[in-house]
Amino acid sequence: MSLTRLLAPHWRNRLQSVLLLCAMGLIWALLGWTLAGPQWMFILLGAGLASLLVGLPISSRWILALYQARPLPQSQAPELHALVAELGRRARLPRMPSLYVVPSRLLNAFTVGSRGDAAVAITDGLLRTLPWRELTAVLAHEMSHLRHNDMWVMALADLVSRMTHMLSLVGQLLLLVNLPLILFTDLQVPWLAVLLLILAPSVSALLQLALSRQREYDADLGAARLTGDPQGLASALVHLERLQGNWLTHVLLPGRQVPDPSLLRSHPPTEERVRRLLELAASGEAALWADAAGAPLDALGGLRVTKHPPRWRVLGTWY
């Protein structure tokens, strides 16, 4: 199997992400043109390019503090630290991410920071629920986000989206202030520009959601490349989907989960992600990635959790 075929899905995902980000920037620049003329379009485009070249400072401390995350010492989970170190080596990260545990029974893991200074946070519920193989796949997914610098990409997309909303709001306020002139004078209104002011925030938000979904697909592919085990991630996704919510909710509200339109999701549908991973496993490409990755990750052993589970308190947090 050729190397070109192996890398085709990755580059296709990256190209789609670049196109989506450029589309968001174009809407931002068009709003500047609408409000202040062509010169502001080039100023905003220049600001966007500067953000791409310089990079956005991403502070992870306040995010970890928001979730009450605490550092996970190596003495409490040596196997987990060894797993993260091995995944970081395979992902060619310049520095091993710091490990944090979030005192919550929610099933979640997330990454904050940049490639050189990152932190991976795992909830206590996820550590106690997923078997080692599935936990490895989930961590590989987060490492893939780090490898591709997805946090920076999504932070930039969020900045563009927020600025688009702000410019649109300014334009609509100016339109409202000049409404008497529009009604009682012969002032010509560029209705195409008005339509852009109204639709730009919604279009920008949809593009941001599409970008997020595309980065998730690429992270799934990257996780399969790091572990050589797409079935492990597929199993983890199915497991997490099944465990969302509690038994009482399933009994009392069996039809509560009304599927959202795909355009309004920040993550792709689980069924589609699993389908792609299983197709990848069936194609035999993952076997080549496993050979290139090195020793199987399950050789590192399982996770031993020695601390007591989180307890509930009145404020609703776990500790």
Residue 25's pLDDT band (cuts 50, 70, 90): confident
Angstrom distance (rounded) from CA 24 to CA 160: 7
Q: Between the CA of residue 230 and those of 110, 132, 256, 269, 273, what are the distances in Å?
A: 19, 14, 30, 17, 10
Which one has a higher pLDDT value, 99 or 185?
A: 99
Decide: helix, strand or coil at residue 112.
Answer: strand
Q: Quick one: pLDDT at residue 316?
A: 46
Q: Would the pLDDT of 210 be above 60? A: yes
Whether the predicted model's global pTM rises above the 0.95 cut: no
Angstrom distance (rounded) from CA 258 to CA 236: 22
Q: Would the pLDDT of 1 be above 60? A: no
Q: What is the pLDDT of residues 31-85, one digit of tens each?
A: 777 766 677 667 766 766 665 555 555 567 788 888 889 999 998 889 999 999 9
Q: Quick one: pLDDT at residue 142?
A: 94
Q: Quick one: pLDDT at residue 101?
A: 94
Q: What is the DSSP secondary structure assignment for residue 245, as one 8-state letter? A: S
Q: Would the pLDDT of 309 be above 70? A: no
Angstrom distance (rounded) from CA 143 to CA 84: 8
Catalytic residue flag (residue 134)? no
Structure tokens at 21: 């980000």
Q: In one letter, which amino acid is 81?
A: H
State mean pLDDT over 223-249.
82
Which one has a higher pLDDT value, 282 or 314?
A: 282
Q: Quick one: pLDDT at residue 319?
A: 41
The rounded percent of the chain whose pLDDT value lies above 70 is 68
Q: Would the pLDDT of 224 be above 80? A: yes
Scanning the chain, the segments in alpha helix (DSSP H) are: 3-36, 38-54, 61-66, 78-90, 124-129, 132-147, 150-177, 179-184, 191-227, 230-243, 247-252, 270-283, 285-293
Q: What is the pLDDT of residues 131-172, one digit of tens each?
A: 999 999 999 999 999 998 888 788 778 877 887 887 788 778
Residue 317's pLDDT band (cuts 50, 70, 90): very low
Residue whose token pair is 């609408």: 34
Q: Quick one: pLDDT at residue 220?
A: 93
Q: Which of 79, 86, 134, 142 is catalytic?
A: 142
Could you give the count of Cα atoms lying within 13 Å of 258 in the half-sphere of its Cβ? 2
Q: Quick one: pLDDT at residue 258?
A: 46
Q: Do β-strands 98-102 and 70-71 pair in parallel, antiparallel, or remain unpaired?
A: antiparallel
Q: Would the pLDDT of 305 be above 60? A: no
Residue 26's pLDDT band (cuts 50, 70, 90): confident
Structure tokens at 24: 């968001």
Angstrom distance (rounded) from CA 293 to CA 288: 9
Estimate to the nearest angstrom the gap between the alpha carbon of 61 and the chain centroid: 18
The rounded percent of the chain whose pLDDT value lies above 90 is 24
Whether residue 191 contacts residue 54, with contact meaning beta carbons closer than 8 Å, is answered with no
Range picked from 6-10, 200-204, 243-247, 291-295 for highest mean pLDDT: 200-204
State mean pLDDT over 203-212.
85
Q: Quick one: pLDDT at residue 136?
A: 94
State mean pLDDT over 103-126.
89
Range picked from 175-184, 215-224, 245-254 for highest mean pLDDT: 215-224
Q: Would the pLDDT of 120 be above 90? A: yes
In 3D, which of 176, 197, 161, 163 has the Cα closest to residue 34? 197
List, edge to edge, every strand of the sheet that includes 98-102: 70-71, 98-102, 117-123, 109-114
